[in-house]
Amino acid sequence: MIKLTSLQGEEFFLSADLIEKVEQVPDTLITLISGKKIRVREDADSVVEKYMEYKRKIHGFSEVRNEQV
């Protein structure tokens, strides 16, 4: 789950597995796989970063680094 903030300023947790699409229009609009849409205060890039961080944690990956071997 990722922690987000509603437009009214209330924090809530959203299951990242339910996210289908994230748009910046101009508010951040999250479309869930059910078709429900949620507007949040965080910008789209922040939502995507939270999503990626969540996925890394649950799959046991550490941060990927671009290093030459």
What pTM value is reported for the model? 0.81
Give 47's DSSP letter: H
- pLDDT tens digits for 53-65? 999 998 886 555 5
- pLDDT tens digits for 1-60? 999 999 999 999 999 999 999 999 999 999 999 999 999 999 999 999 999 999 999 888
In sequence order, what are the beta bridge partners of 58? none
Q: Which amino acid is at 5?
A: T
